[in-house]
Amino acid sequence: MAVPEFLQRFSVIWLAHISPDDWALEPALHSRSPWRAALALRQWRPGFNAGGPHRHIETTATNPQFRIRVPGAAAKAHVVVAVAQKYECFRSRHDEEAEIGFTIYEVPPGMPRVTPQFVSEQMPLDFAPMQNVREVATFFALPPGDFVVLPHSTQHREGKFLVRILADQHADVWEVNEDNVVIQNIAAEFIEERSVDCRLLYRLRTRYPAEIDASQLQSILRMQGCTFGRTLRGLSPLGGPSLDLCRALLALRDPGLGGRLSIEHIPALMSLLRFWKAAFRRCGPSSGGTLSFSRGTWGSRVSSYSLRGLLWASGATASNKVLEALVGRFCRNKQITLEGYLMSMARLHLAHERYHSLDTKAKANPLTLEEMILMTIYS
């Protein structure tokens, strides 16, 4: 294309770093060693991983994280980090590009993930300031060690992006992720209320049949409001668990899929709920105050960005994909209620139990654990 024709057809041109694959197309570069490259196409989602730049201490650690490990025997590695936002065809060509950037931290080798506490205590090694451009790129000379790159846009902004990390020598690069794990019966390690459980079981036997359904479980949970924190004098527990939550809880103790729960399992189920509720309280409401009795304990909320920390406190970890599904399924307006959090924990435990049961019975399980969890979350 001739230059005059190019000027007629185009008004803006963006220059980007080429990848090592493009070097093969240029004969003049064949004598040089191409740089190694790693790339990933990801997206920011409000309430999940659109945590914003490093000045947002409480949420910036939720951004996608990419780890760079420079081997100890190597000299300084020359690294280029580039973050490009994906062009959206539905947007007007006159719309300005959103602001994007990234932050890089040096982390200890044994640290699996950058956390809000780490961000509040450590200054970043460097950062690319927020710019209204298609791509931001910065050159680094990194010594041996571990580094984490956090691409970001403005806080709560949805958008897709491409991150590329190029190095002139061997360096391990991967996206920070976690395994899907739940610690079974973790609540039993903190329970010293056997006599209380016996009295509760005695009262239930006098009022309910040996096996109960979800509506009867809902009635029991509403009656035993004290299991979710002693009510204040003169105030009864407001709201209560929904029937959907009670069905999910019942399924945890219903391996035969009969739709009924033995009354003998109620004390253990109550203990598990108390443990989960304590974890929810430790994270604290998103308003930074105390639980609001005007809305009821069941209506209390925390930021959905803290869901990963909630899972940790409850004895569970989830992969990035599973956590994204939990946020999309049980969070609203970048917040998660106690009801949504308990539903998340119930679905996670149920998926793990069903998967291990299927894995034991079947010679060849066609599903992975993550696939089973995602199916259970959306069921």
- Residue 169's pLDDT is 87
> At 196, is the pLDDT very low, low, confident or very high (cuts 50, 70, 90)?
low
> At 356, is the pLDDT very low, low, confident or very high (cuts 50, 70, 90)?
confident
- Classify 64 in phi/psi space as left (phi over 0), alpha (psi -120 to 50) or beta: beta
Read off the tokens for 98.
């959103």
Task: Please state the rounded mean pLDDT for residues 272-294.
Answer: 66
> At 285, is the pLDDT very low, low, confident or very high (cuts 50, 70, 90)?
low
With contact defined as beta carbons under 8 Å apart, do 336 and 298 qualify? no
- Residue 98's pLDDT is 84
142: helix, strand or coil: strand
In whole angstroms, give the CA distance from residue 352 to residue 183.
Answer: 10
> At 95, is the pLDDT very low, low, confident or very high (cuts 50, 70, 90)?
low
- Residue 340's pLDDT is 93
With contact defined as beta carbons under 8 Å apart, do 68 and 149 qualify? yes
Average pLDDT value over all residues in the chain: 83
For residue 68, is pLDDT > 70?
A: yes
Architecture of domain 18-176: Sandwich (2.60)
- Look at 180-184, 194-198, 306-310, 342-346 and tell me which has the smallest mean pLDDT: 194-198
For residue 87, is pLDDT > 90?
A: no
For residue 180, is pLDDT > 50?
A: yes
36: helix, strand or coil: strand
In whole angstroms, give the CA distance from residue 24 to residue 170.
Answer: 19
In whole angstroms, give the CA distance from residue 43 to residue 41.
Answer: 7
**Higher confidence at residue 64 or residue 239?**
64
For residue 294, is pLDDT > 60?
A: no
- Residue 210's pLDDT is 85
- Percent pLDDT > 70 in the chain is 81
Per CATH, the number for 182-377 is: 1.10.238.10
How many Å is the maximal CA-CA distance in the chain? 91
Nearest to 303 by CA among 137, 60, 58, 135: 58
Please tell me the chain's helix, strand, coil percentages from 3-state DSSP, rounded to the nearest 5: 40, 20, 40
- Residue 74's pLDDT is 67
- Residue 22's pLDDT is 64
- Look at 34-43, 198-207, 303-312, 342-351 and tell me which has the smallest mean pLDDT: 198-207
Domain range list for the chain: 18-176, 182-377
- Look at 17-31, 243-257, 336-350 and tell me which has the smallest mean pLDDT: 17-31
Q: pLDDT tens digit string along 118-160?
A: 999 999 999 999 998 889 999 999 999 999 999 999 999 999 9
For residue 238, is pLDDT > 60?
A: no
Crossing angle for the helix pair 320-330 and 369-377, to the nearest 10 degrees:
10
Task: Cite the DSSP H helix spans in 130-242.
Answer: 194-207, 214-223
